[in-house]
Amino acid sequence: MSFVPMSELLEKARQGGYAVGAFNTNNLEITLSIVEAAVEERSPLILAVSPGAMRYAGAAYLAAIARVASEEAPVPMALHLDHGTTLDEVETALSLGFSSVMIDGSRLPFEENAALTKKVVEMAKPLGVSVEGELGRLAGKEDDISADEREAFMTDPDQAVEFVERTGVDALAVSIGNAHGWYKGEPHLDFDRLRRIREKVPVPLVLHGASGIPDDMIREACRIGVDKINIDTEIRDAFRRAVEGFLRENPDEIDPRKILGPAREAMRKVVAGKMRLFGCAGRA
């Protein structure tokens, strides 16, 4: 199968009451682990490539690996630019056949975010490529912010409606207390806010920073109506632990294929577990 627009996967998810997982890749091994999980779980898949991943591996290499995977895998798959921040990054993704792009203008003032996002919609829509925007800021790994500041970063439901109407995005990433990287303690997700956004906003909603969010909270987010859920950190963690464990037990091993074998297996298990949790397993 070739790449499908993300909006196609997310419309089905909305109707079916589940969320599609978006998993970040940076290389061959991570891509294979994610795709193997999708095939095994018969799950639709969003393969996410960040600008950092593009710089690390080369955007064309990652896109080529993903294309071969999508041709071989009997499940619908979108290739998605994650957290694009410039028009150049979007153009690169479009030229390589990505079927979805995120433009993250969440650090910009509302008007600038809306204008940038609208521009990306105008570039992507004629090509049949989906666009995800973001309104409200997520706390990042490096941010150390107070509870009040966190609240001020969250997505405002009325602004969200205006943002979607003015930009024409296919999906909206929201800030409801979610953060990238590991949480310090238990995450506090503002489900009331999510409900209010869900009632007002007509397009699929996206939850970033889902690593470390307890399963029951993820289920609640899906019940309320999140349609796409992003995971990166838990895959990285599985990779690192597996490599560390293998090398501890096999300190003289130098064959990268042997060193990375258990890591591939560990990442595949993480992704498969998330697909079952999000309810997208069995939907392809």
Between 83 and 198, name the residue whose CB sits nearer to ligand G3H.
83
The answer for 14, left when phi > 0, alpha when psi is -120 to 50, beta otherwise, is alpha
Closest CA to 46 of 90, 85, 99, 117: 99
231 binds, among Zn ion, ligand G3H, ligand 13P, none (CB under 5 to 8 A by kind): ligand 13P
Q: Tell me how far apart the alpha carbons of residues 146 and 28 are, in angstroms, rounded to a whole number.
A: 39
Q: State yes or no: is 82 an active-site residue.
A: yes
Per CB under 6 A, the list member of 5, 84, 209, 225 interacting with ligand 13P is: 209
DSSP β-bridge partners for residue 100: 80, 130
Interface with ligand G3H: number of residues (CB under 6 A): 8
Q: Is 208 in the site for Zn ion (CB under 5 A)?
A: yes
274 binds ligand G3H (CB under 6 A): no
Q: Which stretch binds ligand 13P (CB under 6 A): 118-126, 150-158, 225-233, 248-256?
A: 225-233
**Residue 103 or 231: which CB sits closer to ligand 13P?**
231
Among 137, 150, 180, 228, binds ligand 13P (CB under 6 A): 180
Cα radius of gyration (the chain)? 18
Positive or negative torsion for Cα 235, 68, 18, 191: positive
Closest contact distance (angstroms) between CB of 27 and Zn ion is 19
CA distance 156 to 194: 10
SS3 158: helix
Mask: binding to ligand 13P, 227-256, rule CB under 6 A, as x and -?
---xxxx-----------------------
> Nearest CA to 221 among 200, 241, 246, 204?
204
Site residue total, Zn ion (CB under 5 A): 2
Binding map of ligand 13P across residues 9-48, x = CB under 6 A, - = no contact = ---------------x------------------------
SS (H, E, C) 224-266: HCEEEEEECHHHHHHHHHHHHHHHHHCCCCCCHHHHHHHHHHH
Q: Does 232 bind ligand G3H (CB under 6 A)?
A: yes
Strands 100-103 and 45-49 come out as unpaired
Is residue 211 a contact residue for ligand G3H (CB under 6 A)?
A: no
* Residue 187 binds to ligand 13P (criterion: CB under 6 A): no
Contact residues for ligand G3H, defined by CB under 6 A: 24, 50, 52-53, 82-83, 180, 232
Catalytic residues: 82
Contact residues for Zn ion, defined by CB under 5 A: 208, 230
